[in-house]
Each structure stands twice: as C-alpha cells, then as structure tokens.
C-alpha cells in the first residue's frame, strides 16, 4: 500500500490538523500494540465500550507514529502529530476500506450464510490457490471491524479475494457490502433456527442477501424463501438435491469408507466428485465450493482431483467423548464474542443429541458494554437451541437472569466443587472459556478417561472374516474356532460370545484354565481342550470341558478318573499324529487304543483329529497330502473296529484354503478369523480386526548431533522432531522392531522408531508429521500390518498378536 494521505481523507468529511500535503501512507492500523506501526502508518483510534484507543496516542507518537484519525485530539497533543478529526472513527475506518477496495479490480468471492462460511472460505482458498494469488479474510474476521481489516490487507499482487461476512442483526450487512463488493456471491445456508437478532427468517435472509446487491452472480442452494426475495433479473447459479430446475442437480450422494461420492448433472452431463467426509454439513459446503469452481469454468478432471483432497478446517474446536455418553466440544482456550458465535454454530451442527449445554466463562475484549454483550450472548443461546447455560466468572454471574435455565459460579473451583450435584448425560456440551479460567480442568472431569494404550478389536471385522471362511465350506461341515491364547491375543470372552452368537459348533482352547474361565463367564458352546494335563482332568470334567486325548498314558489316567466318577460316555477327542510329531497317537498305538476304548463305556469318542505341519506351504504339498491320507486310513480303522461315527477334522485356516477336499466333518479355524491369511491373494478379502493404539506423551525437537534413547543408538543427522509413545517391549513390542526397522502411524504418516524400544516406551521421528502431544498413534493395524511386522521381525503374525501383554486394555467395538 502506498497512498497519499490527502487522497484518503478526501473520501470522508474530516477536519485536518497538521501539514499532510505530501504524506504517504503505507500501513493502516487500529491496534496500538502492532509492531508494524511506524511513521507511514495511519492509525484509526476506535472507541469501544471498554477500550478507547485515543488513550494510546501519546505512546504511539513516542514510537514514531505520526498520522491519526480521531474523534477528538487528546489534550496536549495538538501539534505533536497530524490529526484527522472525524465524527465516528469506526465509520471512517469502514469508509476508508470502501475506498481502498475500489482501488482494485479483480474477482472477489463474498460468502455469507448461517453456517459453514469459514469452511467454504478456507476450502475455496485451497481449491483456487494453484491458479490465483488470493487474499482472504483471516480465520473469523467477518464482523464490522474484521471485514474492513481483511480488505485493507489487499495488495497489488493479489488477483482474487475471498471474504466472509457475518451479521447478527439488521442494517449490518449494508455496511459490509460496499467494503467486500463481491463479484461472486455465495450463500452457504440458512439455519433453521430463528435468529434472535431478526424479526423473522425472511428478514434474516433479506439482510444476508444484501451482501450480493451488486455481485454478478448469486450461488446458492435452491430455496423458496430465497427465491421470494430475489428479482427475476438476478443472475443465479443454483444447486439442489431434489429440484431439477437448477444449474447443478445433485442426483445422489453415496457414503462409503469415510468418503462421499457426489453425483451431479451439469449442462447435460453426469459427473461425480469424491470428498473425504461423510457428514451432511461437509457435503453441502463442498457442493457450494463445487459451484464456484463450475461457475469459474473449471473442468471436471481438475475439480475431481482437487476436491478429493479437501481437509478438515481446524476450528480450534475439538470433539471428545464425554462421561455418561456425552459429546464434549472443547474450546477451553478462548472466549471472545466472535469465536463464541463460531463455536455455537459448530455446536448446532452437532446433531447427535437434542440436549445442549454451554459452559461459558466471562468474555473479555468484546468491544461492547457488559449489558450489550450478555444481551447478545443470551440471544445467541436461544437462537442456537441451547437448553442449559453454566456461567463461570463474576461478570457473567451478574447477568444470570438474562438466561433461562442457568446456574453460575464465581470461579472454576466452585463449579468443580459442585460437580457431583450437576447432571451431565446424553447431551452435547460446549466448554468455552478464556485461558485464565483454566477450563481444561472442567474438560478433564467431563472427558471420558481414555486408556493410553489399547488394542481395539473390531468385532464386525471378526464376523466378516468368519463368514468369509464359512463360505469356503461344503454344506453341513462344522466349524470349530480356536480361541486359545486369549483369542490369539484379541480377548477371550468377547470373542467367544460373538462366536456363540454366530452359532459356531465348537471352541478350541489350549489349556483347561482358558476353558474354565469361558465356562464360568457363561459360554455354553462345547469347548475342546487341546493339551490337557492329567492334573486338570477333574476340573475338566467338573466344568464340562472336552479333553483332547493324545496318548495311552493320558487315556488311562482319564479313564481312571471317569470310572471313579461313574461317568458314562463322557466326550473326548482323539488326536492322531500323522506327521506333525507334536501330540497324538501313532500308527503303532492304534490297536492298543482301540482295545482300551472297546473295554470302556465311561468315555465316548466325540471326534478324531489330526494337525497338519505344512498346510500353508505348497512346497510341501505332497507331504501334506500324505498326512491327510494317513489320517483317513487310521481314523477309518478306528471307526470300523469301534463301530462309531465321530466328527473328523484336520484342517486349520490355511488348510481350509488349500485342501478343500479334506474338510471331513469339521474344520478348525484360527488365525483367519483374526484377519490374517498366509496367502496374499486371500489376505485382500479379510478385514483387519485388531488395531493397537497409543498416544503421544511428549514431543521435542533435538539438534543435529544429539541422540535418542539408551545406548545413543539413534544419532540425529539433522534437527529432528521426536515423539515419545508409552508402549514398549513389556507390552509386547519386540526390541527388534526398533532402531529404524519399524514404524508407527501418526496422522496417516509413517513415523520411524528411533533408537531402541524401551521397556515401557519408544520414540519415533515426527519431523514431517503435523502432530501434537496427545495425538493418536497406531502401532499396528491397517499400517503397519502385523504381517508386515512379522516379516521384518523374521517371525509370524501369530507371535506378534499373542505377544501383546495383558496389561494392554482390549476395547471392543462394532
């Protein structure tokens, strides 16, 4: 900016003191603390109810500022600087902005509406920035002061403007319109709530539309209420979900996998875009952006490729899970009036619960009298359908009677002391307070305590995988699911319950204890115990578990106890060794086995099984076939001589995939149900079940030459940002996964493990990851997968899964 001061003042009626004939202005300021203030600054001394900038003029002069727009000249300063005296400095400031805007002639997009203004503005900036030098209003500068401030930041390099304008009552927009002077108008949406600043919705819409008084086009979602207010001559560019009589007809929105595909008709063609959001507000905001791009004649290929990269606009508002099923919106770091409006907008968009509570501290620096301020806050509260207000602070307490259903406390500590008496459940709570009120303590009591490290188990994925394998079975083939080792590390009871729900035929565990605990927890499915010790036979019988019997010594021991207990036909499972050479009767044992069973009716052979050593490896295909053949032979011999018809089974997960001819009467499904296959082709069809998650405890940046962790095994070659995560080898993360071999995922980016994995912690590099302390970390799940980890660690996924220590809490979800 470089303007002769005399040209500036010619636009408003003013009286001038001082010689300004050749003064050049290169900076406009309303902030006495700005470091940009200097001799070529023109300072507008605004007057607010709590703040009068005239009081800082003397100080500013001492700092070298020489030109002031004032409503009066402070005493004793008459000849110390140039003064331009006007009636109202805010009006003069706005008039100056109008004049300044007039110096530039490029397209300007003006945005207003009830919700989504900031998001649409930020997204348009993102979508258009490859092609334009854009000036846009900062975060939420959409008010009577914010809009002119945004506009005077335009400079010669800009060739496109994007500004938002917000209003809370009538006659505000007509002041903002000439300042923004949009050539392209975007109306985001009209909230359903009856805004208290207006007599009715029509008045509210009419006021908003004033922003587009002289724009070339109005872009909006077709709406009768809007149509009733615009002239038929007005150029519009509209869209709709249900009215075909528009420029862009959205025929369908399809949500899948955290993204939405939007199908639309435009000029006779049918097109689609993908956006990485699922919620309605984002979809509508994205469509608003789409219309701007179409209006600006972008082709669909460009539109498609840019729209799919849209990102969440950080509103400083964080949604958290609260106690008693509440939703918590954490905005505990600010409390100006403008951001309150944004937060309430956001609260309104959260429609999970009808019930809404606002916890609000005193508001500072509003530029309004307290009387006015809390009056406006009260209106906003009604307009946004907030049922309960909890005010904290001495000032807001004085205005308690402005609100319906309101309690107040003088201090945060008073609220905390009374916390037990307040009811918070099934509602959305907005916590909004100035820094000094330390509302983070309130968030802490309202937030559901989350465990730092958890193994999240997706039960839907488990069901899905079960069905995948079931589909491979011939009709009437039974299914036993192995839930040994705590469901392969995923959780015993929850998974057993799910399997019971799916009506599998059997569960398999390794030891009696595992079976006993499932029975004690109410599981009714029959449970086979793979390696029962003789000492556990009594409790196996007592808990109606079914032992696998694999040698004569075990059989005789079991029979002794069974006879003693006078049992008849107690179910047992006979294991044959056909080549695995782990457990089982061999060919040489068969005759004695048959003889012993013939002489006894205390037990009944419920099933005969064997286990394959190489079902996952095609190299040993012939060996595997031999095992199956031997199993067929030995089991047939038993069946013939004993005249029994037991269930026969030999296949584990990879057996199911590779030897469909050997299903006999039952299969034993293990790792597959937990989402792991040894076949990469088959793997694609399985869903990930377990995600091991943690959080970032601390972040630091270390200079080149510093080291990380024990033994200084990571030496930083450059400045490195390091995050510490509270999970270590005691939780089951192998030390071999450290030292640059392994990684975790943070914000969808890989973060390499630096140095050695410690007992309870590990450190990762986050130099290029945009993350903060407390952010989620994925140790394994979609990326890295346990398969990938197993590969790098020279082991198998089974070991990774079952190594996760029991101190890691398991969380199940659907």
Ligand X SMILES: *Cc1c(COP(=O)(O)O)cnc(C)c1O
Binding residues for ligand X (CB under 6 A): 482, 484, 530, 611, 652-653, 668-672
> Nearest distance from residue 652's CB to ligand X, in Å?
3
> Nearest distance from residue 531's CB to ligand X, in Å?
9
> Nearest distance from residue 534's CB to ligand X, in Å?
19
Of the candidates 621, 610, 560, 556, the residue with the CA atom closest to the CA atom of residue 583: 610
Which residues have C-beta within 8 Å of that of residue 88, sequence separation ≥ 6? 71
Cis preceding linkage at 784, omega within 30: yes
The residue among 576 and 696 lying less far from ligand X, judged by its C-beta, is: 576
Distance between CA atoms of 184 and 143, rounded to whole angstroms? 19
**Nearest-CB residue for ligand X:** 670
Helix (H, G, I), strand (E, B) or coil at 253: strand
> Nearest distance from residue 265's CB to ligand X, in Å?
51
The residue among 332 and 657 lying less far from ligand X, judged by its C-beta, is: 657
Q: Are 72 and 25 in contact (CB under 8 A)?
A: no
Which residues have C-beta within 8 Å of that of residue 362, sequence separation ≥ 6? 335, 392, 393, 394, 395, 396, 434, 437
Beta strands in 332-426, from DSSP E residues, in sequence order: 356-361, 388-392, 406-409
**DSSP secondary structure code for residue 774 in this structure:** T
CA dihedral of 527, 528, 532, 537, whole degrees rounded to 10? 60
> Nearest distance from residue 449's CB to ligand X, in Å?
35
Angle between helices 621-642 and 590-598 (to 10 degrees): 30
Of the candidates 68, 76, 78, the residue with the CA atom closest to the CA atom of residue 46: 68
Give the C-alpha distances (Å, rounded to integers) separating 444 from 260, 323, 790: 34, 10, 38
> Nearest distance from residue 650's CB to ligand X, in Å?
9
Distance between CA atoms of 641 and 597, rounded to whole angstroms? 10
The residue among 41 and 652 lying less far from ligand X, judged by its C-beta, is: 652
The residue among 479 and 530 lying less far from ligand X, judged by its C-beta, is: 530
Distance between CA atoms of 578 and 586, rounded to whole angstroms? 7
Other C-beta atoms lying within 10 Å of the C-beta of residue 62 = 9
Backbone angles phi, psi at 354, to 5 degrees: -70, -45
Q: Are 333 and 304 in contact (CB under 8 A)?
A: no
The number of residues making up the chain comes to: 814
The residue among 60 and 482 lying less far from ligand X, judged by its C-beta, is: 482
> Nearest distance from residue 555's CB to ligand X, in Å?
18
- Residues labelled as active-site residues: 484, 710
Q: Are 679 and 693 in contact (CB under 8 A)?
A: no
Distance between CA atoms of 169 and 73, rounded to whole angstroms? 32
Q: Which two tokens stand for residue 301?
A: 């290929």
> Nearest distance from residue 468's CB to ligand X, in Å?
13
Largest Cα–Cα separation, the chain = 124
Distance between CA atoms of 162 and 160, rounded to whole angstroms? 7
> Nearest distance from residue 545's CB to ligand X, in Å?
16
The residue among 163 and 780 lying less far from ligand X, judged by its C-beta, is: 780
Distance between CA atoms of 22 and 493, rounded to whole angstroms? 85
């Amino acid at each position: 900016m470089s303007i002769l001061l005399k040209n500036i003042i010619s636009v408003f009626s003013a009286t001038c003191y001082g010689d300004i004939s050749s003064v050049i202005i290169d900076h406009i300021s309303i902030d006495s603390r700005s470091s940009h203030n200097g001799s070529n600054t023109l300072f507008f001394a605004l007057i607010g109810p709590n703040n009068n900038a005239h009081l800082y003029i003397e100080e500013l002069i001492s700092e070298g500022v020489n030109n002031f727009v004032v409503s009066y000249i402070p005493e004793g300063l008459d000849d110390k600087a140039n003064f331009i005296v006007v009636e109202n400095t805010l009006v003069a400031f706005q008039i100056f902005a109008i004049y300044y805007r007039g110096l530039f002639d490029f397209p300007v997009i003006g945005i207003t509406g009830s919700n989504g203004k900031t998001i649409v503005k930020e997204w348009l900036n993102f979508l258009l920035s490859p092609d334009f030098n854009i000036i846009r209003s900062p975060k939420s500068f959409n008010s009577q002061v914010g809009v002119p401030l945004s506009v005077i930041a335009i400079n010669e390099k800009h060739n496109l403007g994007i500004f938002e304008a917000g209003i809370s009552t009538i006659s505000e927009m007509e002041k903002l319109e000439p300042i923004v002077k949009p050539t392209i108008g975007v109306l985001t949406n009209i909230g359903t709530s009856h805004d208290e600043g207006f007599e009715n919705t029509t008045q509210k819409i009419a006021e908003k539309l004033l922003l587009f008084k002289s724009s070339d086009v109005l872009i909006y979602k077709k709406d009768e209420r809007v149509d009733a207010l615009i002239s038929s001559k007005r150029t519009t560019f509209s869209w709709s979900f249900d009215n075909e009589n528009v420029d862009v007809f959205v025929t369908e929105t399809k949500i899948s996998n955290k993204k939405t595909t939007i199908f639309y008709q435009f000029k006779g063609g049918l097109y689609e875009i993908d956006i990485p959001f699922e919620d309605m507000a984002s979809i509508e905001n994205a469509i608003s952006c789409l219309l701007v791009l179409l209006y600006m004649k972008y082709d669909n290929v460009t539109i498609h490729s840019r729209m799919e990269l849209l990102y969440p606009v950080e509103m400083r508002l964080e949604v958290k899970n609260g106690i008693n099923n509440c939703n918590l919106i954490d905005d505990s770091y600010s409390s100006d009036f403008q951001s309150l409006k944004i937060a309430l907008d956001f609260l309104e968009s959260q429609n999970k619960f009808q019930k809404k509570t606002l916890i609000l501290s005193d508001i500072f620096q509003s530029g309004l009298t307290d009387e006015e301020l809390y009056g406006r806050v009260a209106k906003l509260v009604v307009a946004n359908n907030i049922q309960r207000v909890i005010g904290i602070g001495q000032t807001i307490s004085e205005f308690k009677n402005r609100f319906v259903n309101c309690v107040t406390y003088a201090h945060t500590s008073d609220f905390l002391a009374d916390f037990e008496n307040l009811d918070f459940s099934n509602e959305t709570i907005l916590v909004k307070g100035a820094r000094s009120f330390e509302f983070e303590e309130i968030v802490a009591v309202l937030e559901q305590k989350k465990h730092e490290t958890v193994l999240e188990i997706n039960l839907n994925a488990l069901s899905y995988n079960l069905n995948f394998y079931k589909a491979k079975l011939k009709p009437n083939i039974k299914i036993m699911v192995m839930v040994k080792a705590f469901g392969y590390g995923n959780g015993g009871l929850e998974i057993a319950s799910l399997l019971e729900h799916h009506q599998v035929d059997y569960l398999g565990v390794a030891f009696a204890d595992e079976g006993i605990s499932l029975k004690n927890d109410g599981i009714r499915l029959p449970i086979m115990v793979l390696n029962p010790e003789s000492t556990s036979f009594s409790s196996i019988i007592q808990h109606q578990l079914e032992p696998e019997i694999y040698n004569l010594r075990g059989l005789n021991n079991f029979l002794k106890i069974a006879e003693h207990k006078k049992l008849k036909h107690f179910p047992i499972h006979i294991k044959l060794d056909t080549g695995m050479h782990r457990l089982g009767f061999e060919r040489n044992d068969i005759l004695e086995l048959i003889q012993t069973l013939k002489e006894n009716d205390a037990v009944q052979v419920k099933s005969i099984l064997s286990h394959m050593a190489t079902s996952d490896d095609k190299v040993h295909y012939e060996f595997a076939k031999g095992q199956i053949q031997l199993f067929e032979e030995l089991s047939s011999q038993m069946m013939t001589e004993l005249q029994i018809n037991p269930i026969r089974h030999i296949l584990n997960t990879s057996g199911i995939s590779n030897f469909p001819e050997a299903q006999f009467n039952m299969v034993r499904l293990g790792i597959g149900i937990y989402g792991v296959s040894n076949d990469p082709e088959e793997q694609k069809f399985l869903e990930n079940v377990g995600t091991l998650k943690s959080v970032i405890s601390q972040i630091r940046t270390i200079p080149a030459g510093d080291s990380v962790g024990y033994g200084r095994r990571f030496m930083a070659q450059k400045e490195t940002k390091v995050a510490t995560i509270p999970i270590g080898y005691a939780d089951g993360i192998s030390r071999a996964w450290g030292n640059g071999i392994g990684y975790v995922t943070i914000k969808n980016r890989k973060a390499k493990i630096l140095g050695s994995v410690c007992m309870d912690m590990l450190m990762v590099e986050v130099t290029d990851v945009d993350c903060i302390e407390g952010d989620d970390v994925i140790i394994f799940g979609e990326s890295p997968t346990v398969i990938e980890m197993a590969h790098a660690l020279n082991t198998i996924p089974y070991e990774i899964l079952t190594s996760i220590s029991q101190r890691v809490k398991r969380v199940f979800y659907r």
